[in-house]
Amino acid sequence: MMAAKTRALICGVSGQDGAYLAKFLVGKGYEVFGTSRDAELSSFANLRQLGVLDRVHRRSMSLMDFRSVLTVLSEVQPSEIYNLAGQSSVGLSFEQPVETMESICMGTLNLLEAVRFLGKGIKLYNASSSECFGDTGDHPADEQTPFKPRSPYAVAKSAAHWTVANYRDAYGLFACNGILFNHESPLRPPRFVTRKIVRAACAIKLGQEQSLRLGNLGICRDWGSAEEYVDAMWRMLQFDRAEDFVIATGQTSSLQEFVKAAFDAVDLDWSRHVEFDNALTRPSETSFSAGNAAKASDALGWQAKSQMRDVVRMMVDQELASMSIG
Q: How far apart are CA 20 and CA 26, in angstroms?
A: 10
pLDDT of 271 higher than 70: yes
129, 225, 253, 289: the catalytic one is 129
Q: Is 68 a catalytic residue?
A: no
Q: Is 209 a catalytic residue?
A: no
CB 274 within 8 A of CB 259: yes
Global pTM? 0.94
Residue ranges with strand state E in the chain: 7-11, 31-36, 56-60, 80-83, 123-129, 174-180, 183-184, 212-214, 220-221, 224-225, 245-247, 253-254, 274-276
pLDDT of 3 higher than 60: no
Q: Is 36 a catalytic residue?
A: no
Bridge partners of 9, per DSSP, are 33, 81
pLDDT of 283 higher than 80: no
Phi and psi angles of residue 296, each rounded to the nearest 5 degrees, phi first: -65, -35
Structural domains of the chain in order of their starting residue, each with its CATH number: 7-184+225-250+295-300 (3.40.50.720), 193-220+252-289+307-325 (3.90.25.10)
80, 131, 227, 257: the catalytic one is 131
Percent of the chain beyond pLDDT 70? 98
pLDDT of 1 higher than 70: no
Rounded to an integer, the average pLDDT of 239-264 is 97
Mean pLDDT rounded to a whole number for the chain: 94
20, 153, 167, 229: the catalytic one is 153
pLDDT-based confidence at 41, cuts 50/70/90? confident
The neighbour count for residue 42, using CB atoms within 10 Å, is: 16
Amino acid at residue number 100: T
